Amino acid sequence: MQIRDYVLRRLLILPLLVVGTSLIVFSLTRIGGSPIGIYLSHEMDDQEVAQLEERFHLDDPLPVQYVYWATGVLRGDLGWSGVAAAPVTQVFPAKLTASMELAIASAIVAVVLGISLGTYAGARRNRLPDHITRIFSISGASMPLFWFAILLLIVFWVNLGWFPVGRSNAEIFHSIPHPTGMYTIDALLAFDLTALRDALWHLALPAITLGYGATAIIARMMRSSLVEELQEDYVDAARAKGLPERLVLKRHARRNALIPTVTVIGLTFGFLLQGAVVAEIIFQWPGLGRWMADAVLRGDQATIMAYVMFTSVLFLFVNLAVDVVYAYLDRRVVLGE
Amino acid sequence: MADIPRRVPVAAPLAESAWRVRARRWRELLTATLANPTTVIGLVLIIGMLAVALFAPLLTEPNTPDPYQMPRDWGALNEPPGTPGHLLGTTNTGGDVLYGIIWGARTSLRLSLIVVSITAVVGVAVGSLAGFSGGRIDEILMRIVDVFLSIPELIFALAIAAVLGPSFRNIILALAVVFWVKYARIMRAQIIHIKKNDYVDAARVIGDSGWRIYATDVLPNSITPVIVQATLDMGHIVLVGATLSFIGLAEAGLAEWGVLVSEGQAGISAGRWWASTFPGLMVFLWALAFNLVGDGLRDVLDPRTESAR
C-alpha cells in the first residue's frame, strides 16, 4: 500500500468514526432516561408534558431523535449547561483557552524533561542515572495523578509555601487586559513582568502534575532509541575520527533517536486530555476538565456530552496526525499489513 | 533472557506426552520470569496486597452491617498517625485510615477481578470472532472497536458512570464497557497471525471442525498477549477506578482508596497530610506491582513486542 492510499483510507474512515462516536454519545444521553426531566415541573399535567415532548421531538422514534440531535450539534447547538448556567457554546471558549494554556505548558515540561532525561540515561546505560530514570518511567504509568498532585500540594503549597493554587492573583489579573485568555501570553503582550511571574507561578504545579505521565513515556522512548542508535556503525565512525563523545551524542546519535520519540510525543496527548480533569480539580484550574467534573457530579448532561464529543474528535485528529507522521517516518510498520 | 520456545514444537519428542511438554514449558516460563528482579519485587508486592485483601476480616474488626463502609469514630476526628487505636490516623469524619486501606485492598481486588474477567472474556470472544471469520463480520466488529477506542478511556468511563448515577457498581459497569476493546484488538491480531501456521492447516486437512481447531490449536497459542494485558489491567483498572471515585462517582463512606484520598483532600491545607497520602500510596503500589509483573511477563512470553506504553 502506498502511503498516500493509507492516508486517504484513514481520512475516509474518520467521518465514520466521528458518526460512531456521536452515536455512542447520543445513546449515553438516553441511557439515563428521557432528557425531558429538566423541563418538567410538578404543576404540569399529562397534556402539557406531551406537548413538551412533541416540541423537543422526544415522542419520535430514537433514530429520528438522533437526527434532530446531530443536526443541532452541527449547527453549534450543544444545549444548556446547568453547571455554568449558560449555553454550552457560550462558556466553552473561555474554558478551552484555560485548558489549552495548561496543556501547552505541560507538553513543554514533558518534552523538555522527557528528552533530556532520556538522553542522560541512554548515554549512561546500566549506570545509576539509567536505573533512576527507569524507576521514574515505570512509576509514571502507575502513578495516580490525583495522588501525585496532592503530594505536590502538601510539599510545595502547604509546607514550603512556594506555589499558590488557582489560576491567578485577582489583583494582578485585573491590572492587565486579557485579549487571548491565556494569562502568560496576555502578560507578555502587556510587557508586565509581575503578571508573567504570577501566571507562570500558578501554572507550575498543575503543569508538572499533568506533564508527569507524558514525561515518563517520552523519557523511556528517548532512552531506548538512543541506546539503539549508539550501537550503530556511524557512531563508531564518528568516534573513530576523534569526535568528542559529547558531540557524537549531540550531533549524531541524539538527532536520529529523536525521530521515534517525536511520534511518541503525539501519543502522550491522550494523557494530557484525561489528566486535565484531575489536575484541574485539585489545582482549582477553571478549564474544561473541572467543568466536566462538576457536570458529572451534578448530572449536567449537555456539558458532559459536549465535552466527550469534543475530546473524542480532537483525539481522533491527533491520532490520525500521529499515525500519518509515523507512517512517513517508518514505512515498514503500516505498509507490511 | 533464557530461550523459551513460543509454541510447543510440532515435532515434539514422541516419548513426551502433550501435558508433560506443557508442564515443562510452564516450569521454564516460571524460571525465566523469576530471573528478573523487578518482576520478583512486583510479585512480592502483589502477594502482600492479596494477603491484605483476603485476610482483611482478620486484620481489622469488620464494620457492621456492611464491612465495605468506613466505620466512624466520632470521638476521634482528624487524629494524626500513631494515635492508639488509629495507627495511621483518622479522617475529618472519624474514619480510620488503616481500616480504609485494608478494606480498600479488598474493594480494589473485587473491582479489578470483576472488570478484568468480564472485559477479557468479551474481548477475546469478539476478537476471536472477527479474526476467525474475517470478511464482513471482521470489518464491522473492528469498526465498532475503533469507535470505542476513539473516546479517551477515562473520559468515556467518567461519562458512562455519570449517566448511570454515582455508585461503585456503576463504576464497575462503566469500566467494563470501556476496557474490552483492547482485548478484542489483541486477540484478533493474534488469531490472524496464528491462523497462518502449518499446524492449523494440518488440523483442517485431518478434518477437525472449525470449533475444535479454534479450541485446541488457535486459542491456546494466541492467549499469551491476553494474559499480559490482563495482568497490566489488574493494576490499571484500579488506577482508573480510584480516579473515578476520587472525582466523586462512588458512594461517600465506601472503604475505597480513591474515596479516602478525596475525603482527606479537604484537610491538607490544615496540615493533615495522612488521610490522602496513605490510601494514594496504596493505589500507586497496586498499579506498580501489576505493571512490573506485566512487563516481566511480556518480556518472557512475548519478546518481540516492545512495550507500547
How high is the ipTM of this complex? Answer: 0.85
Of A224, A270, A301, the CB nearest to B152: A270
Tell me how far apart the alpha carbons of residues B264 and B92 are, in angstroms, rounded to a whole number: 7
Of A16, A28, A153, the CB nearest to B268: A153
Q: Do B150 and A20 touch (CB under 8 A)?
A: yes
Q: Do A277 and B273 touch (CB under 8 A)?
A: no
Of A141, A145, A308, the CB nearest to B151: A308
Q: Each residue of A317-335: pLDDT tens digit?
A: 888 888 787 777 665 544 4
Cell reading at A228: 539503539
Q: What residues of chain B lie within 8 A of the CB of A292, using their CB?
A: 155, 158
Residue B306 confidence (pLDDT): 44
Residue B160 has pLDDT above 80, yes or no: yes
Chain B residue closest in CA terms to A217? B309
Tell me how far apart the alpha carbons of residues B40 and B71 are, in angstroms, rounded to a whole number: 35
Minimum distance, in Å, between the CA of residue B241 and any CA atom of chain A: 10
Chain A residue closest in CA terms to B290? A142
Q: Do A150 and B143 touch (CB under 8 A)?
A: no
Q: Each residue of A258-294: pLDDT tens digit?
A: 877 877 887 788 788 888 899 999 988 888 999 999 9
The pTM assigned to this predicted structure is 0.86
Q: Do A274 and B152 touch (CB under 8 A)?
A: yes
Residue B157 has pLDDT above 80, yes or no: yes
Tell me how far apart the alpha carbons of residues A307 and B168 are, in angstroms, rounded to a whole number: 23
Q: Do B265 and A150 touch (CB under 8 A)?
A: yes
Residue B279 confidence (pLDDT): 93
Residues 6+ apart with CB under 8 A from B229: B120, B182, B183, B186, B294
Q: What residues of chain A lie within 8 A of the CB of B309, using their CB?
A: 141, 217
Residue A234 has pLDDT above 80, yes or no: yes
Q: Higher model confidence: residue B132 or residue A45?
A: B132
B199 touching A (Cβ < 8 Å): no
pLDDT band at B1 (very low <50, low <70, confident <90, very high): very low
B173 touching A (Cβ < 8 Å): no
Residue A336 confidence (pLDDT): 43
Beta bridge partners of B95: B72
Strands A86-87 and A80-81: antiparallel
Tell me how far apart the alpha carbons of residues A103 and B136 are, in angstroms, rounded to a whole number: 40
Phi-psi region of A166 (alpha: psi -120 to 50; beta: other; left: phi over 0): left
Question: What is the sign, positive or negative, of the torsion defined by CA atoms of A212, A218, A222, A224?
Answer: positive
Of B159, B235, B261, the CB nearest to A146: B261
A146 touching B (Cβ < 8 Å): yes
Residue A332 confidence (pLDDT): 52
Q: Residue A133: which of A268, A52, A43, A226 has the closest Cα?
A: A226
Q: Higher model confidence: residue B126 or residue B77?
A: B126
Segment B192-204 shows an average pLDDT of 84
Cell reading at B207: 478434518
Q: Higher model confidence: residue B259 or residue A252?
A: B259
Q: Each residue of B4-40: pLDDT tens digit?
A: 555 555 555 555 677 787 788 888 888 888 888 888 9
Question: Which residues 34-93 of B have a C-beta within 8 angstroms of A?
Answer: 38
Question: Which residues 173-232 of A have a C-beta within 8 angstroms of B?
Answer: 217, 224
Q: Do B151 and A311 touch (CB under 8 A)?
A: yes
Give the three-class secondary structure for B60. Answer: coil
Q: Do B150 and A316 touch (CB under 8 A)?
A: yes
Q: What residues of chain B lie within 8 A of the CB of A21, using their CB?
A: 147, 150-151
Chain B residue closest in CA terms to A136? B288
Is B115:B172 a contact under the CB 8 Å cutoff? yes
Chain A residue closest in CA terms to B162? A296
Count how many residues are written for chain A. 337
Q: Each residue of A54-87: pLDDT tens digit?
A: 777 777 778 888 888 888 888 888 887 877 888 8
